[in-house]
Amino acid sequence: MYKCPYCEKETITLWAKISTGPMSAATCTDCGKRSTTSVRAQMLALFPVVIGVFLPNYVPALMPFKFPIVVVVIVVSLLVYGMTAPLMKKS
Ligand SMILES: [Zn+2]
């Protein structure tokens, strides 16, 4: 669980945090206020996914492993994003 930036209580689940994005926010189960992560953190999470999707196209040796590479990169990137991106008050 992660701290709500408003009430400082640990009410935000990892999944709720991962689900935040430009169009969605995590809602605190205690105070009901909405928080989100920075656009910078969202872009940083997306960057390795883009690399994982396109790199195998340019490295023929990686092509047979393209699908597992993409799956691993997406899972790892979302977990790192969910665990490290700071929650901010949504304006
Ligand atoms: Zn709260």
pLDDT, averaged across the chain: 92
Count structural domains, the chain.
Answer: 1
How far apart (Å, rounded) are the C-alpha atoms in residues 50 and 91?
Answer: 29
- pLDDT band at residue 56, thresholds of 50, 70 and 90? confident
C-alpha 88 – ligand 1 centre gap (Å): 11
Arithmetic mean of pLDDT, 14-26: 91
The whole-model pTM stands at 0.80
- pLDDT band at residue 63, thresholds of 50, 70 and 90? confident
Domain membership of residue 74 as a residue range: 2-89
Residue length of the chain: 91
Strand partners, 3: 10
Q: Which residues of 51-83 are buried (b: 16+ CB within 10 A; e: fewer)?
A: ebeeebeeeeeeeeebeebbeebeeebbeebbe
∠ CA 71-13-75 to the nearest 5 degrees? Answer: 10
91 has a pLDDT exceeding 80: no
The most confident of the ranges 23-27, 31-35, 43-47, 61-65 is 31-35
C-alpha 76 – ligand 1 centre gap (Å): 27
